[in-house]
Amino acid sequence: MPVFYGTEIDSALMLGTALYPSPAIMADAFRASQAGIATVSLRREGGQGQDFHRLIKDLNVAVLPNTAGCHSVREAVTTAQMAREVFDTPWIKLEVIRDDDTLCPDVIALVEAAKILSDDGFQVFPYCTEDLSVCGRLLDAGCEVLMPWGAPIGSGRGLNNPYGLRSVRAHFPDVPLVVDAGIGLPSHAAQAMELGFDAVLLNTAVAKAGDPVAMARAMAMAIQAGQFAYAATPIEARDMAAPSTPVFGKAVLG
């Protein structure tokens, strides 16, 4: 099971709390997913009030506030500080967005904000790209977790750059890694775990599915399958066929 900033989480699935048809369906989806962490936007918390806060507490999972929708260092830092007061946790999923069409992280502002927040006692979960230099700078800034995107938020495209994600895993073997964003299918979640990632964070794929509860259950099973597959050490891909039944010892017919 993943360990983030010294805290062991019971599940490798992290699930968002936005976009569900109703609070009741969200709660049912969380139970079906067996997710260990709920990500919550401070803006959503503010809009729902105490009822939403009580619903999140009743999920009985760790809460990871995020700075979704922030476009500057100042905005992200201020939002994080407010979230710490509301949710009483040093954890923060740090998002600083550059482009509204792709919701691509502003990696320069991200590193700056991560440094400020780490120095202020936050335990930062940065939403970043799979660029190795950016990941290295985030670790230098005090982050102990990296959350590279699989694809743009809400796109459902899966893992756009498996090579890049595999490279992040290889270069930072001891750093907890989470694929964050872009997951659309259970097979995408399984693939992330097969690459050796410690967890997957998703929201839209479950919340906007025709049956969010059934999709949540499917994601939980896929995460587990991917974990088992990675632990089993999969065979490597080949360009040529390799017979499962060798020619040696084959019966010779006269």
Residues making up the binding site for 1-deoxy-D-xylulose 5-phosphate = 154, 181-182, 203-204
Is residue 57 among the annotated active site residues?
A: no
Binding site residues, as ranges?
A: 154, 181-182, 203-204
d(CA 244, CA 240): 13
Starting at the edge strand found earlier in the chain, the sheet holding 13-16 runs 147-148, 123-128, 91-94, 62-66, 37-41, 13-16, 199-202, 178-180
Q: Which of 93, 115, 208, 250 is catalytic?
A: 93
∠ Cα 141 41 196 (to 5°): 55
Q: Residue 206's closest CA among 39, 38, 11, 16? A: 16
Q: Kind of pairing, strands 123-128 and 37-41?
A: unpaired
Other CB atoms within 10 Å distance of the CB of residue 223? 25
**What are the catalytic residues?**
93
